[in-house]
Structure 1
Amino acid sequence: MAALNNIVAATDLSAPARHAAERAALVATGVNARLALVHVTGRAPLEQLRQLLAAGEGGIEQALLDGLRGTLQVLGEAIHRRYGVAPAVAVTDGDLLPSLLAHADALSADLLVLGARGSSFLRHILLGSTAERLLGAARCPVLVVKQPPHEPYRHLLVPVDFSPIALRSLQLAAMLAPTAKLTVMHAFDVPFEGQLRYAGVDDAKIGHYRALAAERARAGLDRLVAASGLAPERIRQLVVPGDVSQRILEQEQESDCDLIVVGKHGEGMFEELLLGSTTKHLLAESQCDVLVCR
């Protein structure tokens, strides 16, 4: 799997968004990656400002942009002093989501980092259909930061199915947090269990089906962990029955994890994990950071 060489952190220069920049710096330091900070000034607000400016006040817009660059530069210098990584900084304007993704592509980003609670565009990016567009359009993994980064990640929760993305997600998790423990979880169910009961299948037979599903899930986890090449002592394997999003949130609390790593384009019960309501549920309800892998 390719290394994490280039990390791009987006910031709207709010205090919550600073957490994302600091987490990006902490990750960059841990994996020896380059870091870039980018601020996108929305085209619509700039156009509204231009309409308010009188003739001869065109310098106000330039002063505003210069001020934003100065603020971003100050943030970059503070990150350099604290984390030892000197980030490149850029202020760009345009349509928010396309501009951000274009900047990440131009820098060959291996990881895009966003704050979950910014004061302006980042807040909107992580709500509703825009979140789905971002996760669908980004060419690299997206790390959504919710908590202040006091230390490197210590415990990662990695829900997996057994599609090809599961192995990449697990390897990326281990690469991003080289010293962290990993809980690799698979949630299973008995397909059409309700319909089977309605059709008269008794509890003993359904229990047998559930035991078979659990056995196959454990075997699948064994194969996945072996294929990852990771040290077994880093990994705790967990097979649980039930709804995947509910089990993720339960395990987040029980295991006290500080990052959830989820893969996109899974199979079976995971195929909707990062689409529609489940995406919004996970981003809205989880307390810890979330890494979305492609």
Structure 2
Amino acid sequence: MIMHRPKTIVVGLDGSPASRGAFEQAMILAASLRARLVAVSVAPSLAGLERIGREEIRELSRPFEQALEDASDAAARAGLPLKKVLEAGESFERLVDVAEAEEASLVVIGDARRAYMERVLLGRNVAKVIGYSPCDVLVVPEGTRLDFTRVVTAVDGSRQSMAAAGRAIGLCAAYAGKLDVLAVVDVPVERNLIYGIFEDIKRRALIAVSAVVKAAQAREVTALATVLEGAPFRAIAGFAAEIGAGCLVLGSYGKSGLRRLMLGSVAERVLALASCPVLIVKSGPGDPDDVVGALDP
């Protein structure tokens, strides 16, 4: 099932339209999974501000307090219990700290709509949350809605991507969704001159997507395989947009690995272009929804 039915979902709030949209989607998910919902808002650190007045300090925290109050009202209207946490400091650090303290299974964050380069340069906080998070992270671009009836997962044959594919299968099984399994073959022009290399890479891609489709069919999930050529980040984001996906599922390389992966990587660029929510699966191989065994000899 989705993320093994998380007992706790932690949502980051800063009062922006993107974070409010993420909270709305988190409420729907929490209701579906009967999960605890924890809202976290991180105000600027007060260190070094001793010389300004108390009212000025209070003014700095007020928007973040208001974000929590608004979330509390929304949760009450939906009949959902909500734990509110107000922190101060570096936003990604405090959010991750709360996720660890609450033993969260999922962190949900919004991502503001900006021009592509702005999202790459200013979205580093999103990348840091993902890199340091102890659990899966759902990134909800501003103005998008989470929909598990059409899910896309991208695989490259790695154990991490196959574990994410397993999670995607679980999502589709739980929500009667359809799964699109995508692999992208990216071979520079000069390498095409090397005899057989393109065919070998494409063969490996076909093996990966076929393994996921087979695992999906074993759970009575409709799955389609697609292999594309080109720049992976553009191909993945473009494919998800073209078919109207409601969720894109990608694998991570662990806590420290994803920190390196996300900065200037394919995954970060996919997030910058994504037209739907993106679930980054932090769990490793061996989980119940992992299909990596399908590739083992």
Scaled by the length of structure 1, what TM-score is found?
Answer: 0.77
SS of match in other structure, 1:161: coil
Indicate the residue corresponding to 2:52 in structure 1. Answer: 52
Indicate the residue corresponding to 2:19 in structure 1. Answer: 17
User: Is 1:105 paired with 2:100?
Assistant: yes
**Counterparts of residues 26-41 of structure 1 (less than 5 Å):** 26-41=28-43
Q: Is the 8 A contact 2:145 2:276 kept in 1?
A: no
Task: Tell me which of 55, 71, 77 is aligned to 2:73.
Answer: 77
* Equivalent-residue separation in structure 2 for 1:117 and 1:143 (angstroms): 14
Report the alpha carbon displacement of residue 14 of structure 1 after superposing the two structures with TM: 2.4
**Structure 1 pair 66/131, CA: closer, same or farther in 2 (3 Å)?**
closer
Aligned residues: 272
Q: Is the 8 A contact 2:124 2:263 kept in 1?
A: no
User: Is 1:251 paired with 2:239?
Assistant: yes
SS of match in other structure, 1:249: helix
Task: Tell me which of 116, 130, 151 is aligned to 1:156.
Answer: 151
Question: Gaps (5+ residues) in structure 1?
Answer: none
* Equivalent-residue separation in structure 2 for 1:26 and 1:223 (angstroms): 32
* Equivalent-residue separation in structure 2 for 1:248 and 1:86 (angstroms): 37
SS of match in other structure, 2:262: coil
SS of match in other structure, 1:276: coil
Q: Is the 8 A contact 2:11 2:38 kept in 1?
A: yes
Scaled by the length of structure 2, what TM-score is found?
Answer: 0.76
What is the alpha-carbon root mean square deviation over aligned residues?
Answer: 3.5
Counterpart amino acid of residue 52 in structure 1: I
After the TM superposition, which of the residue ranges 34-43 and 242-251 deviates more from structure 2?
242-251
Indicate the residue corresponding to 2:227 in structure 1. Answer: 239
Report the alpha carbon displacement of residue 15 of structure 1 after superposing the two structures with TM: 2.7
* Equivalent-residue separation in structure 2 for 1:249 and 1:160 (angstroms): 13
Q: Is the 8 A contact 1:147 1:289 kept in 2?
A: no
Indicate the residue corresponding to 1:90 in structure 2. Answer: 85
**Structure 1 pair 137/196, CA: closer, same or farther in 2 (3 Å)?**
same
After the TM superposition, which of the residue ranges 244-253 and 70-79 deviates more from structure 2?
70-79
Indicate the residue corresponding to 1:263 in structure 2. Answer: 251
**Counterparts of residues 140-155 of structure 1 (less than 5 Å):** 140-148=135-143, 152-155=147-150
Report the alpha carbon displacement of residue 153 of structure 1 after superposing the two structures with TM: 3.5
SS of match in other structure, 1:77: helix
User: Is 1:185 paired with 2:173?
Assistant: no
* Equivalent-residue separation in structure 1 for 2:16 and 2:223 (angstroms): 36
Indicate the residue corresponding to 1:171 in structure 2. Answer: 166
Report the alpha carbon displacement of residue 35 of structure 1 after superposing the two structures with TM: 1.1
- Residues 241-289 of structure 1, C-alpha deviations (whole Å, 9 max, x = no match): 33211211220232111222111229xxx99863414344222222222
What's the % identity of the aligned pairs? 25
- Residues 1-31 of structure 1, C-alpha deviations (whole Å, 9 max, x = no match): 7432211000002233100111111122222
SS of match in other structure, 2:160: helix
Counterpart amino acid of residue 6 in structure 2: L
* Equivalent-residue separation in structure 2 for 1:235 and 1:247 (angstroms): 19
- Residues 9-61 of structure 1, C-alpha deviations (whole Å, 9 max, x = no match): 000022331001111111222222211111111105x754x5331xxxx3664
* Equivalent-residue separation in structure 1 for 2:237 and 2:113 (angstroms): 23
**Counterparts of residues 200-239 of structure 1 (less than 5 Å):** 210-227=198-215, 231-239=219-227
* Equivalent-residue separation in structure 2 for 1:140 and 1:118 (angstroms): 25
Counterpart amino acid of residue 11 in structure 2: A
**Structure 1 pair 30/237, CA: closer, same or farther in 2 (3 Å)?**
farther
Indicate the residue corresponding to 2:44 in structure 1. Answer: 42
Counterpart amino acid of residue 109 in structure 1: A
**Structure 1 pair 71/284, CA: closer, same or farther in 2 (3 Å)?**
closer
* Equivalent-residue separation in structure 1 for 2:121 and 2:82 (angstroms): 24
